[in-house]
Structure formats: C-alpha cells, structure tokens
Amino acid sequence: MDFAFTEEQLLIQDVARRIAQEKIAPSAEHFDKVGEFPLDNIRLLGENGLMGIEVPAEYGGAGMDPVAYVLAMVEIAAGDAAHSTIMSVNNSLFCNGILTWGSEEQKQKYVRPIAEGSAIGAFALTEPQSGSDATAMRCKAVKQADGSFVINGKKSWITSGPVARYIVLFAMTDADKGARGITAFLIDTDKPGFHRGKTEPKLGIRASATCEIEFQDYLVAAEDVLGEEGQGFKIAMGVLDAGRIGIASQAIGIARAAYEKTLEYVKDRKAFGAPIGTFQMTQAKIADMKCKLDASLLLTLRAAWVKGQGQRFSNEAAMAKLTASEAAMWITHQAVQIHGGMGYSKEMPLERYFRDAKITEIYEGTSEIQRLVIARNETGLR
C-alpha cells in the first residue's frame, strides 16, 4: 500500500491551507457571530479551483481526484466549518451529480460558473415533512405536452438556498411509482415561480446560509431534466454517497482544529504546579482524540480512493462519514472539557467547533441512516 500523496494533491492541499489560515480562520468568528454569507472568501475559493476540484478543466474545474478533494476540504474545514459546508455542496452535491448524469450542454451551462466561483449551487431534496424518508416528497412536477414540467411545492434546509443561482431539485413526477417516480431537474433561481423563505437560525455553521424554497407554477424546460425521467432517486442516492465523503472530510477538519488547540493548551496550562498535559486523565483523552482523528482520516481517504477507481463506494463513504462525524463530536466535546471554563467561553473557538461538529452527524444522512446503510450492505438484508 502506498500512503504517499501526489505532487498535485499536495499542491491543492497547500493552496487550501494557505487560504484557510490567511483568510478564512481570521474571519470565522465574525461570520459566525453575524451569520453573514462569506461571499468574498467563497469567490476566492472558486478562483483557486476549490469549488470544482473534481470538475474537468473543460468545465472550469481543477480536474483533480477525490483524494485531492478530501485533503482540501479538511484544510478549509479546519479554518471554518461553514466555509467548508458551502464548498462541499458545490463540489459534492451540485457539480458531482451533473458531471455524472448531465448532458454536455448542462455541464457547460450549470457546472462551469459554479466551478469557477462566479455562482453558487445548491441541492434540494429535503422537504418540511420528509428528512431521512426522501421518497415521501410532495413537491410535484407535472409534465406538459411539449415535454416541459410545471413544478409546485416546498423544499427545506437548503444549504446556500438564500444565495444560490442554480439548484439541483428533486420532485415527484409519478407518485404511483414511489421512488421510481422521482425526477431530477436543474433550476435557475432567476426565473419566475421561484421563491426563497426565511433563513434558518442555526446552532452552528452559521455563515452557511440555509432556507426553505418554494415553487409556484415554475416552468422548467425538457432540456433541464437531469438524467432521465424517473431516475431522480437513483441520482440523489449516488450524489449523497459522494457528499458523505465531503462531510467526513469536514468533520475531520473540525476535529483537527479542536485537537490542535487542545495540544497547545495542555502544554501551557498549569495546575497543581505542572502542565495539565502531564496528568494521566488528560493524556488518556489526548491519546483517544488522536486515534479517532487518524482512524477517521484513513477511512475517508479509503472511500475517496475507491471512488477515484470508479468502483462502488457507498459502504466506504457511509463508514467514513459515520466514524468521522461521531469522532468530531467526541473530540470537540473533550476539547471543551479539557479547556474547562475557557472552552465554554466565546473568547476561544472551542465552543464554535463543538457547535459546528454536531451537524456532521445529521446532514447527508444521519448517523442512524449510515448504520442502516452499512448493516444492509454487510448482511444483504433489507
């Protein structure tokens, strides 16, 4: 086994680290406090190829592989989780699905501006009454005589919804067929019939804008159907597999940031005449934090490598996402505990890491859903 990274992978990791340390981390506290979308920083990520890492150069992207994506995502997330959320949606949920299922015209029209950072993309699957049960959707698309569709309905928890120009939308075209009656569409939010709801007041990743969206007699042309009619559920599940690698990477970045802060603290903070890092209970926490962090990274890199080989990676992605997200929650919890009162104070970023980590156990499939995916793949039982 070769654990070495290529020169290109290390280069994009270095670019991501530099932007994260010089631009993102210094502004993270401000954006978290005010809940403002960090548009200038996101444009900078796009200008440096980080909004379309796996997008081929002919569509405006960096043309790199999934391992490079993981390395870059970890660095951005270590700078600020909210920025990495926006980056993950653009890379994993928006561009990935269109690259896999889209026509040449769709790739040029929708992928290029997202990959280049001149526009923001979003992914609309969840509805107010349906979370993990994606097939229970009520958003409907009715086919017209000319092949176009009229869409009506609501979607909720749409990351980047308040600022997105283009959206990959999933709507029911034939309710009698259940999952096979769902179709994917490419939405231009500048067209009539599209409406944005209130921005959600979230616990964490507060600079990542999230809202409800609504369609009222929104007309979408036949050429803006992604894939074929009735393939929407299949597309969504494939895209979510890729998204889980992104969220695992995000969780690792958050956990690493908390771990590194904790390492510094236990060396400097003294109690009872000695650095608290000399106390055995603190040392045990540090050891467990490091093991969970490295295990998460290795599982995520494995999932990315399998994806890059063109093989099925659903199980690997679920394992990486489950392990990394729960490790991030545990590590940030322990980091706050070790820092004591200072960990609970907004004067340090530990409480933000703790708040940000929680969402990684929820979106792109909850921890409970990941366990179902893994168990069903292992047993073959449904």
Task: Tell me, yes or no, if 364 is annotated catalytic.
Answer: yes
Angle (CA) 25 29 30, round 5°: 110
In Å, how far from its chain's centre is CA 10? 21
Long-range contacts formed by 18-27: CB under 8 A, 24+ apart:
19/44, 19/45, 19/48, 19/50, 19/76, 19/79, 20/75, 20/76, 20/78, 20/79, 20/80, 20/83, 21/79, 23/79, 24/76, 24/79, 24/80, 24/83, 25/78, 25/79, 25/80, 27/80
Residue 220 and residue 151: Cα distance in Å, rounded?
8
Residue 91 and residue 98: Cα distance in Å, rounded?
10
With b meaning 16 or more CB within 10 Å and e meaning fewer, what string describes 303-319?
bbbbbbeeeebbbbbbb
For residue 147, which amino acid is it? Answer: G
Residue 164 and residue 338: Cα distance in Å, rounded?
39
In Å, how far from its chain's centre is CA 118? 19
Spot the catalytic one: 54, 200, 229, 364: 364
Residue 347 and residue 104: Cα distance in Å, rounded?
50
Do 72 and 13 contact (CB within 8 A), yes or no? Answer: yes
Short-list 97, 6, 82, 8, CA closest to 45: 82
Looking at the annotation, which residues are catalytic?
Answer: 364
